Structures are given as structure tokens and as C-alpha cells.
Amino acid sequence: MSIIPGIKRRIDRLEIITASDLASLPLFLKRWSQVEIEIGSGNGHFLAQYARNQASKGLLGIELKAKRCRKIQKKISALRLGNVLIFHGNANQLLTCLYPGSIDAFHIYFPDPWPKTKQRKRRFIKQPLLKKLYLLLKPSGRIYFASDVYDYFLQVRLLALADGRFSCFNNSLPPEAELSLYAQKTYQHGQDLFTVTLIKKTDQELELK
């Protein structure tokens, strides 16, 4: 697919992109030796601060709500960051455009917990997604996850154990993850924060199983 000049300008200017711009996504990705993605960036508190502290990395934020995308863009502009691109749309739309073994880390903080038993099938993290993220990660790539719902945290750990291709570590998130609105609300209400980091095993580690 050819790259449309107007889309290229949006990528170059780090403007908010949508599904129709994804053909030009490699223009952004190839600028960075390390690329990390936040799925569900909310209002951008984590993403903006993390991008400022990790200026050598390319950061992609995925957010479904247009108003939140605009809030993130304002934070990025205020900090004059040149390493963040915001995608307004469904995460699966962007994930299908990525090459295998091209991403260093995924950040997934406080996804909708769907706490009722009959609602759990609607949760974002399920076995097919975990398999997709595994393929997109580089060797030793990471998935950072946080939730204030213990059941969701446990589900993610169990899915990773069932998959068998990840190592699991608790309490190992980037410190900026605590800056998100949901993290702050969790602490203010005296609730527990449940975190896990999944690390993709290398081929050598898998051979030792």
C-alpha cells in the first residue's frame, strides 16, 4: 500500500492517527531501536511521564475514546515530546499491522475488569491476545499489567502459566505506572494494587523446559 502524503505529514508531526493512517506506521517505528506500546492510555498520565523519562524509546499509545486522545496530545505537546504517537481506535486494528518480534514491551494498566462472573468473557486479556502479544514481542520482551481487581490479576498470571512461554514477576512495573489516575485512586481509597510483569522466554529458555 502506498503512503499518502497527508498521512506521512501526520506521522511526521506526531498527530493523532486512526486506522486509515496505519499504512504509514512503519515511518514512525523505524526511527527507534526500542518501541513500547501502551494499550488503553486513558488520559495519558503514565504515557507522557514515561515518554519524557525514556526519550530514547519510541512510544505508541492506543486509546479508543477521542476525548482522551486529545488530552494525551495536549500533555505530549506541553512537554514537547518527540517520541510519542497516539492511535485513536481499537487495539486489534493496530496490533495486526505490526511485525513479529518488533516490540520491546506492552503496558496494560487498569483495563475494564468486568468483575461479574458472567462478564469475564468480555475482558481484554484472553488467551488469543496473549499469543498475539507473544509473537509481536522481541526475545525477553515484556508485558506490564496492573489492576485493582485481584481476580483479573490472577487470571493474567494463570493465562501466562498455561501458555508456558512467559516468566512471571510481581511488583516490577515502571515507577511511572503509579502516576495513572486509576493507580492514584486505588491508593487514595486504601485498596491494593495487583501487578505482574510477563517476560517472553528466549528460545534457549524454552529448550531447557
- Tally of CB atoms within 10 A around 96: 11
Rg (CA), the chain: 17
pLDDT at 134: 97
User: Contact, 62 vs 39, CB < 8 A?
Assistant: yes
When the candidates are 3.40.50.300, 3.30.310.50, 3.40.50.150, 3.30.1120.10, the CATH number that belongs to 15-207 is: 3.40.50.150
What pTM, to 2 d.p., does this model score?
0.90
Domain positions in the chain: 15-207
Walk along the chain (209 residues) and give the pLDDT tens digit of each residue. 344 455 566 666 667 999 988 988 888 999 999 999 999 999 999 999 999 999 999 999 999 999 999 999 999 999 999 999 999 999 999 999 999 999 999 999 999 887 777 778 889 999 999 999 999 999 999 999 999 899 999 999 999 999 999 999 987 788 888 767 777 777 777 778 899 999 999 888 888 76
pLDDT at 102: 96
pLDDT at 165: 95
Catalytic residue positions, numbered? 112
Question: What own/partner pairs with CB < 8 Å and gap ≥ 24 does 86-89 have?
Answer: 86/16, 86/17, 86/41, 86/60, 86/61, 87/16, 87/17, 87/18, 87/22, 87/60, 87/61, 87/62, 87/63, 88/16, 88/17, 88/18, 88/63, 88/64, 89/18, 89/19, 89/62, 89/64
Lookup: cell for 180: 495513572
